[in-house]
Amino acid sequence: MAEAAIPQPAGARKSRPVSAGWFAVGRAPSPRARLILGVLSFLLPLAIWSAVSYLPFLWHPLIEITDPGDVAYFEKGMRAPGDAFAAEVEAAKAGGQAPPQGVPANPVYLPAPHEVAVALWKAVFPAEGGGTSLLGAFWHSVQIIFWAFLISSAVGVPLGVLCGAYSSIGRLTEPFVEFFRYLPAPAFGALAVAVLGIYDGPKIAIVVIGTFFQQVLIIAATTRRVEYALLEAAQTLGARNLRLVRRVVVPAILPDLYNDQRILLGWAWTYLIVAELVGTSSGITFFITQQARYQHFENVYAAILILGVVGFGSDLLLARLGRWLFPWKATSA
């Protein structure tokens, strides 16, 4: 926009590449192009999935039996390998028996988009008394994450800020934290169950262990990046010690700290999946493993999709919220 004001030499316009549209290296596409590309990045995988699901000549290595004929071990609805099916057809014809009938099918672990869509619909609007509730399981997971992240942040954020602000506290804390960070959180599963029982306690503990130590280090590093000139200016204006931390360090790093928290929240979700297998399985992980055991893979995909949509959506939302919370940051960009 500002470029328009700069008078350009006569030759400048000609030297611009003609096809500077969507495929110019290193150049940001226009907002419209960005939107289209963004939508396409979702539509393309969906199109591939649909093609593999609905075009019988793409992949479809199995035959779904519609009529077993006289083959003893075939049942209606079962999926047989293509070559086995062909052999049975040959054998039946040769023996004068009724040949089995079938249609090309994909393995059961790859449901078609519409099956997953139906499962999603049923999950969001469950029929009265209809089976295990996906949303209920999901809600349980959200609660685990909420409490774990709250507990971790309540200690981790202030400690991280103090470690960053006071190098003596940092030196005292960070070596141990650094060491602990390398201990895999799931390894504490048995211990957590022994101490905290078999219900939500150990699950929350594992997400906390997985999040907390990273949190301290990341937030300490962010705190150290505070502009030193601002601290000096504040000191010449009479700010000291904790007031300097509270009135200058914290507000100065707040936007970065907020972004750190967004990233850490994403990590907390990845620890959730392990945590939920500890003690009595629960939440979205329990739902997924159970549905997979019954081969209801459309429900598995529905659950994974909900995880993705909620994770991606909440991150977008938090990014928006960040821009609204820190207007002074946005205006300087």
Partner 1 sequence: MSGSLALPEQSEDVRARFARIKAREEILQVRGLVKRVPSGSGERTILGGIDLVTHRREFLCVVGPSGCGKSTLIRTIAGLEEAQGGDILVTGRPVHGPGPDRAMVFQGYTLFPWLSVLRNVMFGLEMAGLPKAEADRQARQWLTLVGLEPYADAYPAQLSGGMKQRVAIARALAIQPRILLMDEPFSALDARTRARMQAYLVDIWRKIDVTILFITHDLDEAVLLADRILVLKANPGEVVELMEVPALRPPGGRSLDDPALEATLARLESLIHAHEQAGAEDDEPAPPVVKLDSVGHGVD
Residues that bind partner 1 (CB under 8 A): 229-230, 232-239, 243, 247-248, 251-252, 254, 326-329, 331-332
Which one, of 260, 258, 293, 286, lies nearest residue 272 by Cα?
A: 286
Q: Specify burial of residue 109 (Cβ count, 10 A radius: 0-12, 13-18, 19+).
A: exposed
Which one, of 194, 186, 219, lies nearest residue 285 by Cα?
A: 186
Cα separation, 82 vs 87, whole angstroms: 9
Contact 174, 224 (CB under 8 A): no
Contact 164, 221 (CB under 8 A): yes
Cα dihedral: 319, 324, 325, 331 (round 10): 100
In the complex, the smallest distance separating the C-beta of residue 274 from partner 1, rounded to whole angstroms, is 38
Q: Is the CB of 235 or the CB of 295 nearer to partner 1? A: 235
- Distance from first CA to last CA of the chain, Å, rounded? 14
Tell me the H-state helices in the chain: 31-54, 82-95, 113-124, 134-165, 167-181, 189-196, 200-224, 228-236, 241-244, 250-275, 283-293, 297-325, 327-332
Residue at 132: amino acid letter? T
The Cα-based distances of 243 to 161, 163, 184, 210, 246 in angstroms read 13, 16, 37, 31, 5
Q: Tokens at residue 255, please? A: 């936007």
